[in-house]
Structure 1
Amino acid sequence: MPRHFTPRHYTPRHYTPRHYTPRHYTPRHYTPRRHTETKTGITTGCPWQSNGGVSGTSPRWRKILGTSMISSAMVKCLVHLLDGESFETQVRKGTTGKELFNAVKDKLGLKEEGDYFSISYIEPRSQLRRWLDMEKRIDRQMEGSQAQAHEFSFELKFYPPVPENLSEDIARYFIVLQIRKDLRTGSLPASFYTLAMLGSYTVQSELGDYDRKEHQGIEYLRPFTFVPKSTEELLSRIADLHQSHRGMTPEEADIHFLQNAKRMAMYGMELHEVKDDKGKSVSLSISASGLYLYEGYLRMDKFKWHRMLQISYIREHFVIKVGPAVNKGSKKRLTFQLPTRKEAKQLLKLAVEQHQFFRCIQSTTG
């Protein structure tokens, strides 16, 4: 199989269609390789997260990403971070996405749990967000002249179902920053009470305890952007809840923030616009637990990984073969149309990555 080949068909688990018996999902037998330190770098348990033997201190790393080595074969990369800062570096034309990703992780101090994150960019023609392929060369994925700086964003790609249980404080903090960004941009809808509660934990984490002298009315909340358009009522409610968090440390406030955020219906959901077999516009979303079908923000159906026999794309169509529920119905084939064949292929790739990543996490921790 070619190195960068994306299959048209993907089977989430082993099954024999002719003799199919409905059963609960059992992850494939998988013995993860533990993280081992080598002379050339770190080898991770998940093959798609391996860094190819590159470490931040190796001569090869310095040769590829060293800022002192400027030549015509070097390309500028500007990565926007979740804390508002930017990371700029010079990379060789043959640098892969994984090598740039490792450079960002080293700068931020992220270790194993940094693999929940990835690097994205905006495709110029479609203006859609794409995830940088870790195994391919950066210059072959980006459009534009070599003289231009390639712009990227460091973002959360795999939303953990229980984010507060992550062991690395810095990883939890960047997940908090990602959710704040999702709320701020309106990509994560929430109820009034949830917005107020999350906003109060944000203020407690950033400003500390409520002080009657310094925190008058709601004016002290004006510098914060909680949602695209904050109302007086929302800011007033956030200020009231902030007063109740006295004595809570920033770390504790972030934990409470994550515990409330993970319960939101659209947590970790990125909607992809498609059309069903009747030509009706709907949205598909991919998460750690499976695929979800939405009409607007209303969930219409869900397909857990253990129910799916196969997912594939045929031209511009994304196809899901779903097995029957226990003692109910029969197998069915669902087809969704995307604007182009490339979009269908990208959706399949995202689904495969989500399923494989969390299967690997379960195998490693379980």
Structure 2
Amino acid sequence: MVCFSCQQTEFEPVSNSRVDSGLVLRKQPRFVKWKGKDLFELVCRTLGLRETWFFGLQYNVKDTVAWLKMDKKVLDQDVPKEEPIVLNFLAKFYPENAEEELVQDITQHLFFLQVKKKILEEEVYCPPEASVLLASYAVQAKYGDYDPSVHKPGFLAQEELLPKRVINLYQMTAEMWEERITACYAEHRGRTRDEAEMEYLKIAQDLEMYGVNYFFIRNKKGTDLLLGVDALGLHIYDPENKLTPKISFPWNEIRNISYSDKEFAIKPLDKKADVFKFNSSKLRVNKLILQLCIGNHDLFMRRHRVDSLEVQQMKAQAREEKARKQMERQRLEREKHLREEAERARDELERRLIQLQDEAHMANEALLRSEETADLLAEKAQIAEEEAKLLAQKAAEAEQEIQRIKVTAIRSEEEKRLIEQKMLETEMLALKMAEESERRAKEADQLKQDLQEARESERRAKYKLLEITSKSPYSAASLSPSALPPDLSFSTENLSFDFKDTDMKRLSMEIEKEKVEYMEKSKHLQEQLNELKTEIESLKLKERETPLDILHNENTERGTSKQSNFKKVSFPLEFGLRALSIAWIHMWILPTSTHPERKVLLM
């Protein structure tokens, strides 16, 4: 922006960070005679701009856009007379291919700012998906590479990146838009500001309304139309559709363009074709259309000619500058890479140092624990040693006690043997004494008998003597035969061992009782087995059954068990019991061989 003020006498530059950047011109006497070219060149020099043919100084007069003429004095033109005088330094003509035609970085930057402003203000239509992509390149140009630690959620909250039409078109919050823009932004890593701005322009130049100046016109039939002027040629649009032209006239097919008052004529290169004529609302509009047509046609011709020496020099310098920047960028990338490697190495060393410190700390703690453990083990060893001594002492005492017990046992055995011997001797002595007593008793009985016999003999003798003396002489007395001692008869007792019916019945009842208890236990066990089988039956793999498993299942289905099989092949109970009894008796009577008088009777 360039501003004139009659009350000021100095000249100050203004920041060019916005599209309307420029100068504040404080009026001095020498500025009054300046032409538009002088002021324009001053602005270009201040900005360092050499590609001047794309730009111009724009102002508004009576709600109509106008461009400052280069060959006329500034104050002699119809610029606003009020102070300050506002002139906008803007791109007047657009390149057909921004990457090939825009040489200087400042040129690219100014175009980037202007195109971005037109898109955000919806002067140029941009579809939503392209808006998000363009916004991501704009963020890359402003913030550089994406860094999650720096560019945290919400860092784009104050940025104007999308047209309001796009924001209102979707039910999305600002956070959701920021998330999608950031996702694209993260993919542009490594692009410089100039590269990001150029990518922005390369996408924007494909938009239908990019670089088109629209004017309301009316054809001979009175139909309202729109005339579009851009780098490619002239286009006729329906007023309701600025995207798709109804008719286009490329610059290489136009022979002449002219206007007369409000009437404007386009003569095609083909002489047989009709001249396209239309009327504009104002003569000023026709003049502006003609300026834009001449400028765009000149640029079209410039693109198809060999570059001038100045342009070649500019491109060479641009290539050198780009190569220098590329080398500088590579150097910075290498330095950045080395710095990142150094930082990673430093971080690794710090991490390793912390790890070693932790390990050292743990080792110190382990050492302290080891020392404590060693002290504790030493105490335990001392205690163990004392306990070992005490145990050894107790073991010695126990050994002594064992020896004493052994000696006592030996003595006890000897005493026992002596006692047994004495008992045996006593028993023998008692037996002898009993025999002697019996013998003496027998002798006493014999003596008593002899005494009785003697007394009887004496009594008889006295009686005989008395008879002899009293009756007659000797009479023969008949002696009665003395009774012999009774005969000793030994009758052996008959030993009998009878198995009575009551014993057999009792044994049968006990066996039957045990059988009933066994069957009850078997029944309970079988119930548990059936429950377990039911639980795991669903998990069984039929294909893995062995022949034994199949046989067991068949027996189970038939109700066959080990007991039933045993009953089929066992002897009758009574016969078995009698056989068992006979076997037991047979074992019992084995010692009878040493006593022939013992007899056994089987019932």
**Would the alpha carbon gap of residues 334 and 83 (structure 1) be closer, same or farther in structure 2, given more than 3 Å must change?**
closer
Aligned-partner Cα distance in 2 for 1:137–1:74? 19
The CA deviation string for residues 79-106 of structure 1, in whole angstroms up to 9 with x for no partner, is: 8954454411235222111111111111
**Would the alpha carbon gap of residues 364 and 152 (structure 1) be closer, same or farther in structure 2, given more than 3 Å must change?**
farther
Aligned-partner Cα distance in 2 for 1:119–1:288? 19
2:57 is the counterpart of 1:119: yes
Aligned-partner Cα distance in 2 for 1:343–1:221? 41
**Would the alpha carbon gap of residues 72 and 244 (structure 1) be closer, same or farther in structure 2, given more than 3 Å must change?**
closer
Aligned-partner Cα distance in 2 for 1:143–1:333? 34
Q: 2:83 aligns with which of 137, 141, 148?
A: 148
Give the structure-1-normalised TM-score: 0.71
Aligned-partner Cα distance in 2 for 1:194–1:285? 23
After superposing the two structures, state which structure 1 stretch, 208-217 or 93-102, moved more. Answer: 208-217
**Would the alpha carbon gap of residues 194 and 153 (structure 1) be closer, same or farther in structure 2, given more than 3 Å must change?**
same
Distance apart, 1:309 and its partner CA: 2.3
2:126 partner SS: coil
The CA deviation string for residues 219-243 of structure 1, in whole angstroms up to 9 with x for no partner, is: 3223222344162465443222112
Tell me the equivalent position of 2:278: 336
| 8 A contact 1:186–1:227 mirrored in 2 | no
Tell me the equivalent position of 1:358: 300
Q: What letter corresponds to residue 310 of structure 1 in structure 2?
A: N
Distance apart, 1:316 and its partner CA: 1.0
Q: What letter corresponds to residue 294 of structure 1 in structure 2?
A: Y
Q: What letter corresponds to residue 344 of structure 1 in structure 2?
A: N
Query: Mapping of 1:35-54 within 5 angstroms?
Result: none
- Gap runs ≥5 in structure 2: 168-172, 309-603
Tell me the equivalent position of 2:267: 321
Aligned-partner Cα distance in 1 for 2:14–2:236? 32
Aligned-partner Cα distance in 1 for 2:48–2:254? 38
Aligned-partner Cα distance in 1 for 2:65–2:177? 31
**Would the alpha carbon gap of residues 122 and 334 (structure 1) be closer, same or farther in structure 2, given more than 3 Å must change?**
same
| 8 A contact 1:275–1:282 mirrored in 2 | yes
After superposing the two structures, state which structure 1 stretch, 354-363 or 167-176, moved more. Answer: 354-363
Higher strand fraction (1 or 2): 1
Tell me the equivalent position of 2:106: 170
**Would the alpha carbon gap of residues 77 and 312 (structure 1) be closer, same or farther in structure 2, given more than 3 Å must change?**
farther
| 8 A contact 2:59–2:87 mirrored in 1 | yes
After superposing the two structures, state which structure 1 stretch, 78-87 or 340-349, moved more. Answer: 78-87
Query: Mapping of 1:1-366 within 5 angstroms?
Result: 82-83=18-19, 85-91=21-27, 92-111=31-50, 113-123=51-61, 125=62, 127-145=63-81, 148-165=83-100, 166-217=102-153, 219-229=154-164, 231=167, 232=173, 234-295=177-238, 296-297=241-242, 298-324=244-270, 330-365=272-307
Count of aligned pairs between the two proteins: 290
Q: What letter corresponds to residue 331 of structure 1 in structure 2?
A: A
Q: What letter corresponds to residue 253 of structure 2 in structure 1?
A: R
| 8 A contact 2:99–2:198 mirrored in 1 | yes
| 8 A contact 2:93–2:295 mirrored in 1 | no
Distance apart, 1:74 and its partner CA: 7.2
Give the structure-2-normalised TM-score: 0.44
The CA deviation string for residues 206-261 of structure 1, in whole angstroms up to 9 with x for no partner, is: 011223234344x3223222344162465443222112112222222122112212
**Would the alpha carbon gap of residues 190 and 73 (structure 1) be closer, same or farther in structure 2, given more than 3 Å must change?**
closer
Cα RMSD (Å) of the superposition? 3.0
| 8 A contact 1:74–1:93 mirrored in 2 | no
- Percent identity reads 26
| 8 A contact 1:116–1:157 mirrored in 2 | yes
After superposing the two structures, state which structure 1 stretch, 248-257 or 153-162, moved more. Answer: 248-257
Tell me the equivalent position of 2:525: none
**Would the alpha carbon gap of residues 344 and 80 (structure 1) be closer, same or farther in structure 2, given more than 3 Å must change?**
farther
| 8 A contact 1:294–1:301 mirrored in 2 | yes
| 8 A contact 1:310–1:320 mirrored in 2 | yes
| 8 A contact 2:59–2:79 mirrored in 1 | no
1:220 partner SS: coil
Aligned-partner Cα distance in 1 for 2:270–2:12? 48
Aligned-partner Cα distance in 2 for 1:134–1:99? 8
The CA deviation string for residues 127-155 of structure 1, in whole angstroms up to 9 with x for no partner, is: 1221111111110113444x612101111
Distance apart, 1:288 and its partner CA: 2.1
Distance apart, 1:161 and its partner CA: 1.2
2:289 partner SS: helix
Aligned-partner Cα distance in 1 for 2:132–2:227? 28
Q: What letter corresponds to residue 109 of structure 1 in structure 2?
A: G
Q: What letter corresponds to residue 134 of structure 2 in structure 1?
A: L
**Would the alpha carbon gap of residues 80 and 348 (structure 1) be closer, same or farther in structure 2, given more than 3 Å must change?**
farther
Q: What letter corresponds to residue 40 of structure 2 in structure 1?
A: F
**Would the alpha carbon gap of residues 156 and 363 (structure 1) be closer, same or farther in structure 2, given more than 3 Å must change?**
same
Distance apart, 1:304 and its partner CA: 0.9
Higher helix fraction (1 or 2): 2
| 8 A contact 1:77–1:152 mirrored in 2 | no
Aligned-partner Cα distance in 1 for 2:142–2:11? 33
